[in-house]
Structure 1
Amino acid sequence: MKFRRKHYTDDTLLALYKAILKPRLIEEKMLILLRQNRISKWFSGIGQEAIAVGSTMALQEDEYILPLHRNLGVFTVRNCPLHQLFAQFQGKPTGFTKGRDRSFHFGTQEHHIIGMISHLNAQLPVADGIALADMLANRNKVTLAYSGDGGTSEGDFHEALNVAAVWNLPVIFLIENNGYGLSTPNNEQYKCEYLVSRGAGYGMKAVQIDGNNVLEVYDTIVQLSAQMRENPHPVLVEALTFRMRGHEEASGTKYVPQVLLDKWSALDPVSNYEKFLLQEGILTEAVIAEIRALIKEEINVGLEKAFLDKMPEADTKQELQDMYKPFVQTAHAPANATKTEKRYIDAISDALRESMLAYPNLVLMGQDIAEYGGVFKITDGFVKQFGKERVRNTPLCESAIIGAALGLSINGYKAMVEMQFADFVSCGFNQIVNNLAKSYYRWGQHADVVIRMPTGAGTAAGPFHSQSNEAWFFHTPGLKIVYPSNPYDAKGLLNAAIEDPNPVMYFEHKSLYRSVAAAIPDSYYTVPIGKAVLTAIGEDLTIITYGMGVHWCLEILAKHPEIHADLIDLRTLLPWDKETVAASVKKTGKVLVVHEDCLTGGIGGEIAAWVAEHCFTSLDAPVMREGSLDTAVPFAPTLEQNFLPKYRIEEKIKKLLAF
């Protein structure tokens, strides 16, 4: 192993030594504690410390880093308090996640570190968003995101690199190639000889380095980051290294040939760098002993303090509250009384335009939304008014763009992501339910993101452009879901969703775009999230619905003036308005829940169960439901109409009234 000191001073070389020694000594202590059963799990980075330490020290302190399991050196170089780190490892409330997550599954804005989730490389698209925010704010910064060699097989790796290349984002994608994805060797992970060769396919610069040489890592990242701050562009770095212990300690290393362990043991990043500094006269044995003693004392003090901390006490109220960033919505009434007749689709466009004016840090992203205006023309003309930096066409990569939206939020922006069709959101599902939804609960980082979802059937568009998939997200704490049925609510709820700092899924029914219109205020206003509205009032029964269901039920009630029903338009599905529902049920005693989604597993089942549990003594009949057939959405119009519940709702109302 050759160390080239170049122009670096003795102080710099010594600082690198202290930095690489600290995580090694912490790891050695952790392995002892694991054997003593004083910690529950450990992902060892022994043999890989040079990558985390060298790259982190090469960056500016306010540049974001997105590390993985084996990057303890990132946290120690950024001076995260050892007591807090050790408390995190033990699940103590004094850790970074209040005991809600483990190891390095957390972030800290104070130290500009954004931790991982277990779904590998989900953090790479987030790095894109962070870097995009820096570019939009004219900050000359780089973002560093780590990947393992196994993680390069993930779709997020491809999507994140592709977006970074297309948008010229200053992200360093650093692959720690340690030979194995858990127990699977690289020749079963990918076909190319080295991962550095993939850079050319994305049109980005790519370099390969000795990941065990801390000075080479440091020097490479120093040079690359300086170039990237001047001329923003992404770079792929492959750092060759080896994992000397198991994926985590319980895994062991029996699957690793001994010859490999012997080879890489001789290339140990700590001992080899120490020998180099001894040869250079920068270190002596006495200085080494002194440095080790100081670090061990710091470790012991931190551990003693962490072990004294109590385990978290469960507080159900606090747990539920912490799923969302606290936000009290202030109702925004229209600034003036002027109104214009507008279609549902125009109301959505109005809201986006007005929110873009209200929030200069709002960025719109989606496929074909720029010059083309989106497939439904909702953002037509936006590029001319707001520019391409804020109205961004994206590659076909839902996961990367949703992840980038979270990155924008982390770095001070608001983001709106348009799904071209709600059906396509499945390609970005992980980012929504595991990153956006859980981020605030886990480590206090809100996701100021709205995802617009053109949804619903009735246009003979077949199984992949017609689904009602709001129930996919209804089960996920941390999300909010709104679903307007008319132009007034469409505008007001979208403005409210963008205002809210929490992640909001905004469903908009495609069949309503140009089929309904109303006179709505021309100026900015909001409709409260979480509040239903009565669109019809009666004593005979309560109908609870949303979206297209509102129009179906209004049509049926108009056809049968003898039926007097409370028709509740939920408007917000998560959280839904239990108070309005309960008041109506207590008045009528009969309840029908209607939605366009398939009946089984739909939102109606949850509402019906809640009504049965909380309003049982007010009920004069079983709570009934109606929804679409439990099939995929068919293409042919005759089959689609049979699939939809519209023509079954009337019979269900009559059945309920006759009970």
Structure 2
Amino acid sequence: MQFNKENISKDQLINLYKQILLPRLIEEKMLILLRQNKISKWFSGIGQEAISVGATVALHKDEYILPMHRNLGVFTTRDIPLSRLFAQFQGKMTGFTKGRDRSFHFGTNDFHIVGMISHLGPQLAVADGIALANKLAREDKATLVFSGDGGSSEGDFHEALNVAAVWDLPVIFMIENNGYGLSTPSEEQFKFKNFIDKGPGYGIESIQVDGNNILEVYKAVDKAANEIRKNPRPILIEAMTFRMRGHEEASGTKYVPQELFEKWAQKDPVENYERYLLQEGVISSEEVDKIRKDIKKSINEGLNLADEDVYPEVSSELQIKDVYAPYEAKLVNSIGSAKSTKRYVDAISDGLKQSLEEFPELVIMGQDVAEYGGVFKITEGFVQQFGKDRIRNTPLCESAIIGIGLGMSIKKQKAVIEMQFADFVTCGFNQIVNNLAKSYYRWGQNADVVVRMPTGAGVAAGPFHSQSNEAWFFHTPGLKIVYPSNPYDAKGLLTAAIEEPNPVMYFEHKVMYRSVSDDIPDDYYTLEIGKASVLKEGEDITLVTYGMGVQWAQELLNDFQELSVELIDLRTLLPWDTETVAKSVKKTGKVLIFNEDCLTGSISGEIAAWIAENCFQWLDAPVMREGSLDTPVPFNSELEKDFLPKQRIKKKLEALAKF
């Protein structure tokens, strides 16, 4: 191994030695603790420390790094107190996740680190989001994100690199090529030989380094970071290395040929660098002994402090409290505001435009949202007023754009992301349910992201442009779900969702875009998220619905003049307003819940179960439900009418009235 210390001072050389030795000695201690059952799991980075340490030393302290589970050196080089790291590994309170996640699945803005989730690829797009925020703020900063060679097979890798290239984002993609994805060798992961061959396909400059040579890694990252601070663009660095232990300790290494261990043992990054410094007279053997002794002492002191720490209090109340970032909305009322007749689609456009004026840090992203104005023309004319930095056309990569939204939140920016159709959110599902929804609960990072979802059937658009998929997200703690049924709510709930620091799935029904109008305030206003609306008071029956169901209900009630029906528009589905529903059910004793979504597994089932459990003594009839057929949405208009529950709702209401 050839080291080149040119342009690196003696102090820097010694600091690099201390930094690379620290994670190695911690790992050796962790392996002992693992055998003693004092930690539950360990992902070893032995043999790969030069990459983590060299890259981290090369960056400024306030530049974000997004490591993976084999990058202990990133955390130690950023000078995170060892006691907090060890408490994290043990699931204790002074760790970064309060015992809610393990190992390196955490972030810390204090140290400008954003950890991974187990799905490997999503952090790449989050790095894009941080870099975009830096670029928009005209900050000359680099962002570095790690990926293994195995993780590069995921679609998130392609999406993140593609967006970074298209948008010239100042991101360093550090690919640790250690030859295996768990037990699967590279030749079974991808056909190309090196990642430096892959980068140019994205239009990304790519370089390869010896990942076991700390000076080579340090110089490469230092050079790349300096360049992209001045001239923003992505750079891919492929670090050739090898993992000397199993994917994690329980998996072992039997699948790896012994000769590979023998070959790479000769390239040990710590031993070789130490030997080089001794040979060059940069450091003496006595100094080496003292450094080792001091590090071991600090490790033991950190462990002693972690041992004194307590485990989390088992409290359901505390756990639920931390699902959402705390936020007390200060409603902006519309009293005295002039009104204009606006269609549902105009109300949404109005809410977006006024929110862009209200929040300079807000960015709208989505396919065709810029000059084209979106497929429903909701953002038409926005580019002329707000510019392309804030109204951003995106490639077809839902997962990356949602991840970018989280990255922007880390830099305290807001994002509204348009799904061209709600159906397409499947391509970004992982980012929503595992990254956006869980980030605050896991490590206190809110996701200030609104995902707009044009949804629903009734326009003969077939199975892939007509689904009602709000129930997919209803089961995910950490998300909020809003579904307005009229122009007034559409504007006020959208502006409230954008103010909200937590991730909001905002559903807007396509049929209502240009078929429903109302006089609504011209000025900016907000409505309370989580509060249902009683649209019509009654004594005999309670109807509970939302979205297009409200329009159907209002039309239906014209045929039931003799009944005193109370109509509740939920407006917010997560969290839904149990208080308003319970109050009405206790008054009427009969309730029908319906939604456009397929009946089985729909939100109506949860509401019905809650009423049965909490309002049983006030019921005079079974809780009734209705929804669409349990089939995909058909294309033919007559089949679609049969699919939708509109006609069946009338029969259910008649049956309930007679009960």
- Shorter-chain TM range is over 0.9
Q: Are 1:286 and 2:314 an aligned pair?
A: no
Deviation at 1:335, TM superposition (A): 6.6
What amino acid does structure 2 have at the position aligned with 1:657? A
What amino acid does structure 2 have at the position aligned with 1:447? A
Aligned to 2:309: 309
Aligned to 1:29: 29
What amino acid does structure 2 have at the position aligned with 1:192? F
**Structure-to-structure mapping, 1:61-210, within 5 angstroms:** 61-210=61-210
TM-score by length of 1: 1.00
What amino acid does structure 1 have at the position aligned with 2:515? S
Which stretches in structure 2 are left out of the alignment for 5+ residues? Answer: none
The separation in 1 between residues aligned to 2:62 and 2:147, in whole angstroms, is 21
Alignment partner of 1:250: what SS? Answer: helix
Aligned to 2:506: 506
Aligned to 1:392: 392
Cα distance, 1:335–1:217 mapped onto 2, change above 3 Å: farther
Alignment partner of 2:250: what SS? Answer: coil
The separation in 2 between residues aligned to 1:428 and 1:5, in whole angstroms, is 45
The separation in 2 between residues aligned to 1:539 and 1:98, in whole angstroms, is 48
What amino acid does structure 2 have at the position aligned with 1:21? L
Aligned to 2:212: 212
The separation in 2 between residues aligned to 1:445 and 1:522, in whole angstroms, is 34
Matched residues, number = 659
**Structure-to-structure mapping, 1:473-488, within 5 angstroms:** 473-488=473-488
Alignment partner of 1:498: what SS? Answer: helix
Post-superposition Cα deviations, 1:319-341, rounded to whole Å, max 9, x if no partner, equal: 10100000011110127420000
What amino acid does structure 2 have at the position aligned with 1:206? S
Alignment partner of 2:417: what SS? Answer: strand
Aligned to 1:563: 563
Post-superposition Cα deviations, 1:549-594, rounded to whole Å, max 9, x if no partner, equal: 0011111101221122101000000000011000100000001001
The separation in 2 between residues aligned to 1:599 and 1:36, in whole angstroms, is 51
The separation in 2 between residues aligned to 1:179 and 1:575, in whole angstroms, is 46
**Structure-to-structure mapping, 1:10-49, within 5 angstroms:** 10-49=10-49
The separation in 1 between residues aligned to 2:379 and 2:315, in whole angstroms, is 45
What amino acid does structure 2 have at the position aligned with 1:276? Y
Post-superposition Cα deviations, 1:498-544, rounded to whole Å, max 9, x if no partner, equal: 00000000000000000000000000000100000111111110000
Aligned to 2:608: 608
Q: CA contact under 8 A between 1:590 and 1:656: conserved in structure 2?
A: yes
The separation in 2 between residues aligned to 1:419 and 1:83, in whole angstroms, is 43
Q: Are 1:320 and 2:290 an aligned pair?
A: no
Alignment partner of 2:206: what SS? Answer: strand
Deviation at 1:279, TM superposition (A): 1.0
Instruction: List structure 1 segments (4+ residues) > 4 angstroms apart after TM superposition.
Output: none
Alignment partner of 2:340: what SS? Answer: strand
Aligned to 2:435: 435
What amino acid does structure 2 have at the position aligned with 1:656? L
Aligned to 1:221: 221
Cα distance, 1:341–1:385 mapped onto 2, change above 3 Å: same
Q: CA contact under 8 A between 1:63 and 1:141: conserved in structure 2?
A: yes
The separation in 1 between residues aligned to 2:159 and 2:403, in whole angstroms, is 10
The separation in 1 between residues aligned to 2:152 and 2:405, in whole angstroms, is 21
What amino acid does structure 2 have at the position aligned with 1:14? I
Which stretches in structure 1 are left out of the alignment for 5+ residues? Answer: none
The separation in 2 between residues aligned to 1:498 and 1:619, in whole angstroms, is 38
Q: CA contact under 8 A between 1:336 and 1:523: conserved in structure 2?
A: no
Q: CA contact under 8 A between 1:549 and 1:595: conserved in structure 2?
A: yes
The separation in 2 between residues aligned to 1:216 and 1:417, in whole angstroms, is 40
Aligned to 1:454: 454
Alignment partner of 2:249: what SS? Answer: coil
The separation in 2 between residues aligned to 1:498 and 1:247, in whole angstroms, is 41
Q: CA contact under 8 A between 1:65 and 1:143: conserved in structure 2?
A: yes
Q: Name whichever of 211-220 and 34-43 sits farther off.
A: 34-43
What amino acid does structure 1 have at the position aligned with 2:311? M
Alignment partner of 2:236: what SS? Answer: strand
Post-superposition Cα deviations, 1:126-184, rounded to whole Å, max 9, x if no partner, equal: 00000000000000001000000000000000000000000000000000001100000
Alignment partner of 1:110: what SS? Answer: coil
Aligned to 2:249: 249
What amino acid does structure 1 have at the position aligned with 2:322? D
Aligned to 1:496: 496
Q: Are 1:349 and 2:364 an aligned pair?
A: no
TM-score by length of 2: 1.00
Aligned to 1:633: 633
The separation in 2 between residues aligned to 1:452 and 1:536, in whole angstroms, is 28
What amino acid does structure 1 have at the position aligned with 2:88? Q
Deviation at 1:36, TM superposition (A): 1.3
Alignment partner of 1:236: what SS? Answer: strand
The separation in 2 between residues aligned to 1:336 and 1:399, in whole angstroms, is 42
What amino acid does structure 2 have at the position aligned with 1:365? M
Aligned to 2:583: 583
Alignment partner of 1:42: what SS? Answer: coil
The separation in 1 between residues aligned to 2:63 and 2:565, in whole angstroms, is 59
What amino acid does structure 1 have at the position aligned with 2:486? N
Q: CA contact under 8 A between 1:335 and 1:524: conserved in structure 2?
A: no
The separation in 1 between residues aligned to 2:57 and 2:363, in whole angstroms, is 32
What amino acid does structure 2 have at the position aligned with 1:294? D
The separation in 1 between residues aligned to 2:448 and 2:314, in whole angstroms, is 28
